[in-house]
Amino acid sequence: MSPLGWLLGLARRKSPWIYCAKAGSCNGCDIEIGPCISPRYDAEQLGVLRQGSPKHADILLVTGPVTMRSRDALLAVYAQMPSPKAVVALGSCPATCNVYAGSPTVDGPLSKHIPVDVWVPGCPPRPQQILAGIARAAELLGSGQTADQEKEKVAA
């Protein structure tokens, strides 16, 4: 690997900026994201910054089972994130639709719509697990193994 590529990989691993998208979650997972950036768990130690615009983010955190109302917004947010990007699914809802499975207004699970790199199970997951999920996604970004990067490799 070239020195420049090595540096870029290191920077991607050490600077994961996150954007949180709520796809119809019950708020449980969203509440658990709060402590991650507060003094007790302080995600900034990992270089994590929460961004208000998907265009500044590297990692998309998705909560909720993907309802029909939130689906298009979620796809728009994903499309607006510049490559390379990673997706972390928080909680059981994006993975299996959880207790909302079978509802006529739910269009899940998440992997039907966008490629997911890291699943963080739990209802809701604990902040430590969320941080571990973000760190794992950052590692994947650094080594070029996210679904988005793999797709580009195939295209090239």
Among 48, 53, 74, 50, smallest CA distance to 63 is for 74
Largest Cα separation within the chain, whole Å, is 52
Sign of CA dihedral 36, 41, 46, 48: positive
Nearer to other proteins, 98 or 149 (CB): 149
Candidate list 35, 47, 115, 144; residue touching other proteins; CB under 8 A: 47
Interaction of residue 51 with other proteins, rule CB under 8 A: yes
- Is residue 44 near other proteins by the rule CB under 8 A? yes
Taking contact as CB under 8 A, which single stretch among the options 45-53, 61-69, 87-95, 101-109 is the one that binds other proteins? 45-53
Count other C-beta atoms under 10 Å from residue 102's C-beta.
Answer: 7
For residue 134, which of 71, 22, 50 has the smallest C-alpha distance? 50
**Can you tell me which of 31, 55, 72, 128 binds other proteins, judged by CB under 8 A?**
55
The CB-of-144 to other proteins minimum distance in angstroms stands at 11
Nearer to other proteins, 96 or 136 (CB): 136
43 CB-contact burial (10 Å; exposed 0-12 / middle 13-18 / buried 19+): buried
Q: Which residues bind other proteins (CB under 8 A)?
A: 7-8, 10-12, 14-15, 17, 39, 42, 44-45, 47, 49, 51-53, 55-56, 58, 80, 82-84
